[in-house]
A and B are shown apart, each in its own frame.
Chain A
Amino acid sequence: MIKKNTGWIIAGLTVLLLITAIYSATVGTADISFKEVVWITLSEVPLINRYVTAPEGSPRTIVVLIRLPRIVLGIIAGISLSVSGTSMQGIFKNPMASPFILGVSAGGGLGAAVGFFLGVSFFYLPLLAFLTALGTVFLVFALGRVRGKTDVATLLLAGLAMNFLMSGLTSYIRYMSPPDKMVQMQILSFMLGNLNEAAWNQIYITLPIMIVGVALVFAYSRDLNVIQMGEGSALQLGVDVETTKFVQLVTSSLLAATMVAFTGIIGFVGLMIPHGARLMVGPEHKRLIPTAALMGGIFLILCDTISRMMGEIPVGIITVLLGSPFFIYLLIRNRGDTGW
């Protein structure tokens, strides 16, 4: 495998991402054409809107206020989760790691369940989920520190334990909730992940976090490569292993916690997309991270589009239903082979 054409792959994926996004904006009960979507979108972009205008009316309202925020949030979630998963798999040197391995999802799920149970307003709910997600990761980190160093094996077990603990507490809250369908559905919907509530103000929060997070993970990408040789060898090759682990784990947990707070627990993207990206450009993180980011964005919009076509079923169901067969396909293809 020679991967000298990464530039073209990334360019191609970027174009594909745009086309998928625009196509996704044409899907829905109101009939809006590809061309209309393009013109409406461009007319909203500063500078370009001096030259491009689109008529006011309901298509514009639907695209700008309903479909576009949902698509953009989907892209942000796809990118954040994929990059977070790539980073986690790199630090744990384990292709089975995911963004949720340190308890982000279970912690966020507990916060959300408590919020729904207490009837917390929709403004504070993401904050609550975000704080419990980060709090859980913090506990896992505290458990995983051995003699001033982060021991990844201990961290993995601590994450597993906290995942179980938080999930158990969440189940208890669900069990205790009144058989009022509303709360039960809210919690379930959060657990499965969805982009239904997307709005521009969520994007104003998540986009900067995504940009900073992806930039940090990318900045430490070569260190992540060298760590694959083993932590001892990485130290001997001049890598500050502890700093790298800290930056990668904290950043990828933050990315995942942010997305959990706003979109619930969208499973599988962060686990599977890094594999798909690795098949395309290999494991070298400088190429892998942008590739995984773009693929994650595309995959999540596609899944959400399908979810909308199927009558708003939570997007997490689609990612799993689409992702698992792909995963099984990879498994069969690489079975007995030399890894992922």
Chain B
Amino acid sequence: MVGILEVKELTTGYGEKEVLKNISFDLKDGEVLGIIGPNGSGKSTLIKAITGVIPIWSGEVNYDKKNIDELHRRERAHIIGVVPQDTFINFPFTSWEVVMMGRNPYLGRFENPKKEDDLAVKKAMEATKTLRFKDQSVRELSGGELQRVVVARALAQEPNLIFLDEATSHLDIGHKLEIMDLMKDRVKQRDVGVLSIHHNLNLAARYCDKIVLLDEGKVHAKGSPKEVLTRAHLRAVYGIEAEVDKNPRDGSLYVTPIKRKVMKEDKEEVVHVVCGGGTGGTLLKELVEHGYEVTTGVLNVMDSDQKMADFLDLRCVTEAPFSSISEKTKSENLKLIKEADLVMGTDFAIGPGNLDNLKDLLYAAESGKKVVLLERTGFQKRNHVGSKGDKIYRELTAKSDVKIFTGIEEIMRKLDEGNI
């Protein structure tokens, strides 16, 4: 029989302060559910509420159609075992004794552990490779060893569901994977369900069948890792720019945080950047981080500047890979230039295919736009179309509203000072 934990519209908090609002999700035996979210989003509070450490304000939690809030603590402990983030034990209990505490919900007040309890403890300690220090004081164990003992305690509890409350966050990567692999094994073999709070998005992506993303006490997104771990969600909840790719080895997702999104005040100005071949990437990023609305074009698809524009979610006029600029894309680019308050041109290499980009800059200058040119290499070195290019460039640089800079930092400084 497959049991289902159903959390419906759960709302709770501490004292007067509401921490979680209307949280709903479900977890079946045989699944690993990840809970992710920034600090203070209510992840640990969720475990506390479901396990009855703090009261639920409204909503309900059912396991197999039974409201577990109405169960006795001991019965609830038959269903859910918890591995906390860390455990401090002041007295020198042996590892065996600590794991035996997992049998507490099965033992009467005056009952001593029976054979089956010893067996459950032994099996749990074998599974976590802790049996060899069963008679050692837990105070003599390393952090990783102690945490495995605590995992063994949860296993000895023989629950239907195991909750990991950031259980691996203090462990080194080897022990992290060891514990998560063990959980995954249990899920496969014995039909337990695992709910796991993760700070590490990649661990979540790798081990979880489903993920719930919490933000400020509410469910921001839930579903498969692919549905939840998107750049838009990560940007909205964590305020980071991240790349989400597929791990080529096992197909699991991995998240590479690039940069914390800079929350500078948004500026009104629109800057259009004409670039290409990697000459504009840094400039695009800087402009975005300084709060400008940035557009760009024309760029070939697969060009590294185009990738950056895509990554930054910019409006970008694109042309097919390695193709010359067509009439249609050119007119789109001119439209963006018209809408922009400021036009920038980088020191991209000029060939027959993108000569139009240089012409567009000239168009901007002629139509009265301020134009900023970034010139680090010198025009002759990047001009591969001979006199045609020279002529346009001369006209362009002769305009009074065109300024030339040799570095991005300088441009950004002048921009912020309002000197452009």
Contacts and interface: CB of A to CB of B under 8 A. Distances in A.
Partners in one complex: yes
A95 B104 contact: no
Interface residues of A, number: 29
A232 B88 CA distance: 12
B139 A226 contact: no
A288 to B, nearest CB: 9
Interface residues of B, number: 37
B84 A230 contact: yes
Most buried by B among A2, A219, A228, A282: A228
Interface stretch (B70-78, B185-193, B207-215, B226-234): B70-78
A284 B77 contact: no
B97 A284 contact: yes
Interface centre among A225, A230, A238, A278 (most CB of B within 10 A): A238
Given A1-B135, A147-B15, A225-B97, A238 B105 contact: yes
Contacts of B153: 229
A232 B94 contact: no
A282 to B, nearest CB: 7
A239 B109 CA distance: 11
B89 interface: yes
B52 interface: yes
Interface string A164-189: 00000000000000000000000000
Contact of B139 (A232, A237, A238, A338): A338
A93 B72 CA distance: 25
A340 interface: yes
B299 interface: no
Nearest to B83: A233
B52 A229 contact: no
Contacts of A237: 77, 101-102, 104-105, 157
Contacts of A203: none
Contacts of B110: 219
Nearest to B74: A238
Given A1-B135, A236-B51, A237-B101, A338 B140 contact: yes
A282 B96 CA distance: 12
A238 B77 contact: yes
B93 A283 contact: yes
Contacts of A226: 101, 104
A238 B104 CA distance: 7
Interface in A215-243: 219-220, 222, 225-226, 228-230, 232-233, 235-240
Given A1-B135, A282-B94, 19 more contacts: A93-B91, A226-B101, A228-B91, A229-B101, A230-B84, A230-B88, A232-B53, A233-B82, A235-B51, A236-B52, A236-B81, A236-B82, A237-B77, A237-B105, A237-B157, A238-B74, A238-B76, A283-B93, A339-B91
11 contacts: A219-B110, A220-B109, A228-B89, A228-B91, A228-B93, A236-B52, A278-B92, A282-B92, A284-B93, A339-B92, A340-B92
